[in-house]
Amino acid sequence: MKPLPRLGVFGGGQLGRMLAMAALPLEVACSFYETQADAPAAVLGPTFGDSSDSDAALAAFLASADVFTYEFENIDIALVERIAASKPVYPGIASLRQAQHRLQEKSLFAELAIPTPAWRAVHALSDLEAAARDLGLPLVVKTTTLGYDGKGQYVVRTPADISDCWQTLGAQASLIAESFVSFRRELSIIAVRGKDGETVIYPLSENQHQQGILALSVVPAPALDDAVRRQAEDYIRRLLEHLQHVGALTLELFETADGLLANEMAPRVHNSGHWSIEGADCSQFENHVRAVLGLPLGSTACPRPTAMLNVLGQHPKREQVLAVPGAHLHLYGKSARPGRKLGHITVSADTLAQLQVAIARLRACLPG
């Protein structure tokens, strides 16, 4: 049997670790472009990345694998382009570029007729004042690059907040101002597209955040209107086709009384898809690995209602979590720090009511 190509992953965090765990049974070896020797993925393959000699590190990383992917979108595109000059990188640079910049991302959504909150680009204090006049308050103001988990955001509630917001965020970065959406709930949809265009789509997840960080996902999103599901699938298909995307793509959505609004996309596996490790026939990680290596994709069916709870800031007692029937604990090998994603728990049940009971028991296991 022909050996499968080796996979090089930009980044060695928990997403890289779970990609490598999914790659292992397929006899796909992973290597990582990652400067921290104790990164979560480092136990699963060699890491390359040396801030003092990045050329040599990149050359060694390039030699270590045949196909490349990434676990986060805030990578220096020039590095990815250097790899892409000689070996395949999936998802392609078009997907990466759009997802790195909130203005480009929102413009792409508009081009593809995917509705979003009303927004304005902000390059000066006067733009912010104009956005407040045009869109009304509150406004959610975000840095256009490098924001994640609610970082780099400011909610302008009163006219008096405008100058403070500008001083806090605008001095360092270009901004986007968005209408504050009174959503019913937050949803996300993850799809995986193969090199031949084959596309599989996971059921939508309902996501709850704490201080901007994902805390809980429930799948399939309870009481979801079938027309809303089809709409979300249509939106993500438009993105996949337009970008000729290969691999996993996540679209975060707000469900409102008037339908869905797109918040942002991630050209990668996503925290709101961790439920799929035990909850789906084939996990987002395995399907991403399959897609970038040109293998057939697996079923995204979710046979039983499933939840994912993030372990944030402090470790729970293992015994307590594992005593909850059906619970699976995934820890990432990280040290505790307030708000840090240290791991997650998945649990499935026969009914949504039983799942809610399990979620309540698991919440009680989580410190803080």
Site of interaction with ligand AMP (CB under 6 A): 117, 140, 142, 147, 150, 178, 180-181, 186, 209, 212, 252, 263-264
What does DSSP say about strands 7-10 and 30-33: parallel, antiparallel, or unpaired?
parallel
Helix (H) or strand (E) holding 107: helix 102-111
Q: Which is nearer to ligand AMP, 41 or 156 (CB)?
A: 156
Count other C-beta atoms under 10 Å from residue 279's C-beta. Answer: 27
Q: Under DSSP, is residue 225 helix (H, G, I), strand (E, B) or coil?
A: coil
**Directed axis angle between helix 284-292 and helix 14-23, to 10°?**
70
Q: Which is nearer to ligand AMP, 73 or 264 (CB)?
A: 264
CB of 68 to ligand AMP, least distance (A): 26
210 in the Ramachandran plot: left (φ > 0), alpha (ψ -120 to 50) or beta? beta
Cα 312 → chain centroid: 16
Q: Which is nearer to ligand AMP, 127 or 278 (CB)?
A: 127
Q: Which is nearer to ligand AMP, 265 or 291 (CB)?
A: 265
Q: Which is nearer to ligand AMP, 209 or 230 (CB)?
A: 209
Q: Which is nearer to ligand AMP, 125 or 181 (CB)?
A: 181
CB of 134 to ligand AMP, least distance (A): 15
Q: Which is nearer to ligand AMP, 181 or 357 (CB)?
A: 181
CB of 152 to ligand AMP, least distance (A): 8
Task: Give the residue among 99, 101, 96 at the shortest CA–CA distance from 83.
Answer: 96
Per DSSP (E only), the strands in 302-351 are 306-312, 328-331, 341-348
Q: Under DSSP, is residue 30 helix (H, G, I), strand (E, B) or coil?
A: strand
CB of 140 to ligand AMP, least distance (A): 4
Task: Give the residue among 276, 251, 249 at the shortest CA–CA distance from 264.
Answer: 251
CB of 7 to ligand AMP, least distance (A): 27
CA quadruple 337, 339, 340, 341: dihedral positive or negative?
positive
What does DSSP say about strands 247-256 and 328-331: parallel, antiparallel, or unpaired?
unpaired
- Helix, strand, coil percentages (3-state) for the chain, rounded to 5, are 35, 25, 40
The pair of three-digit structure tokens given for residue 121, joined into one six-digit string = 């680009």
CB of 176 to ligand AMP, least distance (A): 9
CB of 298 to ligand AMP, least distance (A): 28
Q: Which is nearer to ligand AMP, 25 or 338 (CB)?
A: 338
User: Torsion angle of alpha carbons 357, 225, 277, 345, nearest 10°?
Assistant: -30
